[in-house]
A and B are shown apart, each in its own frame.
Chain A
Amino acid sequence: MNFLQRFFEVPSDLQNTWWGLILWQLQLTLVPVLIGLALALPLGMLCARFRWFYPPVLGVTTIFYAIPSLAFFVFLIDYTGETSLTVEIPLTVYTLVVLVPAIVDGMRSVSEDTRAAATAMGFGTLRRYLQVELPIAVPAIIAGLRVATVSSVSLVSVGMLIGNEGALGNLLSDALNYHRPLLAWDAVLTIAVLGVVLDGLLVLARRILTPWARKAASA
């Protein structure tokens, strides 16, 4: 964790340039999404395997999802202070809400025949999961990732209210205080474009990861 933190710690003067803000926004977006993915994969596999597990997991994550991000941040301040972590934890939870159903959907899209054939050929459970089921589930998982990533990008800006931990969102406080709409335009458009770019990258990733999928699939 230490290495990761240091890796991402950009010198503070750089942080205040436009590109610096973008990089910061990316960091604040990608870390929760990746951690969320890492958590959701085993969780999703369990939910797909044990059907009774799914409803309670969904229920818990939905409740957390319903807690307004600001309130969430406020609760955490006592524990994690006014740092990036305070923003990243709720974002990770929100990512989970989207990714767990996506992974379950993806796992369910693997036909029983395929699973049975793999087992009959001698694939162990973990190997089958990694080499057979997961690749087939990729389109559904990436679909969930796209929603999670794009939503996270825009949610990060709320962190601005916690001692300026909102990357591009920080522009918004200046915009409000000094009545400079341009800064607000800047924030909104940059974040939006960032979101669309990330979305496009994920679509590209899906094309690369699933060469067997036909072009007929919708975006």
Chain B
Amino acid sequence: MNIFGFAQQFFDDPSRWTGPDGIPTRLAEHVEYSLLALAIAMLIALPVGLVTGHTGRGGNALAALATAARALPSFGLLVLLTLLMGLGLIPVMVPLVALAVPPILVTTYEAMRGVDPSLVDAAKGMGMSRSRVLWQVELPVALPLILSGIRSAAIQIVSTATIAAYVSFGGLGRYIVDGLSQLRYEKVVGGAILVAGLALVTLGLFWALGRVLVSPGVRRSR
């Protein structure tokens, strides 16, 4: 398999860049699915992670939940839900959200637990209310680690959102699945490269986000 040859073949084709099966369209669809899944996962995982991390209670339950969610096979869930509910966006979103919740949840919890307790002590002693302590002290300090958890989830989502193609949705997975069934491997290669590229762009976005959101005084974690 000549990967470079296939890649060239894929990207050089001008028709590839327009139309409903064009790269821009598929890219936009893929980004759409990914953003939606990430948003839902963040909506679920961030509050739970922040609160349990702040209070310190429920860590064990959290870990068990995360493990169970990780153990659910994405592809299996997709098939199961499609069989039960028919074609739709939900069977696609559920596995993606299930994939993204554990890293965000666990990392946010650990980030909050990892905040220097003397900071919380000083803040409370100065007369800050509990919610102020959470938002104005713990969160900014825990932010680098929290961002890394969200980043990790984002990359997993970008990579796995290709499964949408199995149930007739769009996205970059379309190239891979179609390429396989049509035995046109240049599409598979092109699709994979695009997904990997999108993941890299995501990494870059998060790096930039970190520069903007994280205070220079907070030591940046890996």
Whether the complex brings A and B within 8 Å at their CB atoms is answered yes
| 17-72 of chain A: CB within 8 A of chain B | 54, 58, 62-63, 65-72
Q: A66-B199, A181-B83, A188-B77 are in contact. Are A154 and B60 (CB under 8 A)?
A: no
Q: A74-B185, A154-B74, A157-B73 are in contact. Are A66 and B191 (CB under 8 A)?
A: no
Q: Which residues of A contact B173 (CB under 8 A)?
A: 68, 70
Write out, one digit per residue, whether chain A residues 156-192 have a CB within 8 A of any chain B CB (1) or not (0): 0110110000000100100110011100110110011
How many B residues touch A, CB cutoff 8 Å? 42
Tell yes or no: B3 within 8 A of A by CB.
Answer: yes
Residue of A nearest to B59 (CB): A218
A201 to chain B, nearest CB (A): 12
Bound form: Cα–Cα A188–B68 in Å = 12
Tell yes or no: B84 within 8 A of A by CB.
Answer: yes
Bound form: Cα–Cα A181–B86 in Å = 11
Q: Is the CB of B159 within 8 A of A175?
A: no
Tell yes or no: B50 within 8 A of A by CB.
Answer: no
Write out, one digit per residue, whether chain B residues 70-99 have a CB within 8 A of any chain A CB (1) or not (0): 111111110110111000000000000000
Tell yes or no: B196 within 8 A of A by CB.
Answer: yes
Tell yes or no: B162 within 8 A of A by CB.
Answer: yes
Cβ-defined partner of A68 (8 Å) among B60, B64, B71, B159: B159
Residue of A nearest to B109 (CB): A218
Tell yes or no: A153 within 8 A of B by CB.
Answer: yes
Tell yes or no: B36 within 8 A of A by CB.
Answer: no
Tell yes or no: A195 within 8 A of B by CB.
Answer: yes
Tell yes or no: B158 within 8 A of A by CB.
Answer: yes
Tell yes or no: A138 within 8 A of B by CB.
Answer: no
Q: Is the CB of B191 within 8 A of A187?
A: no
Residue of B nearest to A108 (CB): B222
Tell yes or no: B120 within 8 A of A by CB.
Answer: no
Q: Which residues of A contact B63 (CB under 8 A)?
A: 218-219
Q: Is the CB of A184 within 8 A of B159?
A: no
Bound form: Cα–Cα A72–B180 in Å = 12
Tell yes or no: B176 within 8 A of A by CB.
Answer: yes
Q: Is the CB of A67 within 8 A of B192?
A: yes
Tell yes or no: B9 within 8 A of A by CB.
Answer: no
Write out, one digit per residue, whether chain B residues 45-73 have a CB within 8 A of any chain A CB (1) or not (0): 00000000000000110011001101111
User: Which of B82, B159, B162 is the most central at the interface, judged by chain A CB atoms within 10 Å of its CB?
Assistant: B159
| 183-219 of chain A: CB within 8 A of chain B | 184-185, 187-188, 191-196, 199, 218-219
Q: Is the CB of A62 within 8 A of B79?
A: no
User: Which of B83, B180, B188 is the most central at the interface, judged by chain A CB atoms within 10 Å of its CB?
Assistant: B83
Q: Which residues of A contact B80 (CB under 8 A)?
A: 175, 181, 184-185, 187-188
Q: Which residues of A contact B203 (CB under 8 A)?
A: 62
Q: Which residues of B contact A101 (CB under 8 A)?
A: 222
A35 to chain B, nearest CB (A): 21
Write out, one digit per residue, whether chain B residues 185-212 have a CB within 8 A of any chain A CB (1) or not (0): 1001101100110111001000000000
B132 to chain A, nearest CB (A): 26
Tell yes or no: A151 within 8 A of B by CB.
Answer: yes
Bound form: Cα–Cα A181–B177 in Å = 23
Q: Which residues of B contact A66 (CB under 8 A)?
A: 155, 158-159, 195-196, 198-200
Q: Is the CB of B67 within 8 A of A74?
A: no
Q: Can you pick out 9 interface pairs between chain A and chain B where the beta carbons lie within 8 Å of each other?
A: A65-B159, A67-B159, A68-B160, A74-B176, A75-B1, A176-B82, A184-B79, A192-B72, A195-B70
Nearest 4 pairs of A and B residues by beta carbon: A195-B71, A66-B199, A71-B192, A154-B73
B interface residues, Cβ below 8 angstroms from A: 1, 3, 59-60, 63-64, 67-68, 70-77, 79-80, 82-84, 155, 158-160, 162, 173, 176-177, 180, 185, 188-189, 191-192, 195-196, 198-200, 203, 222
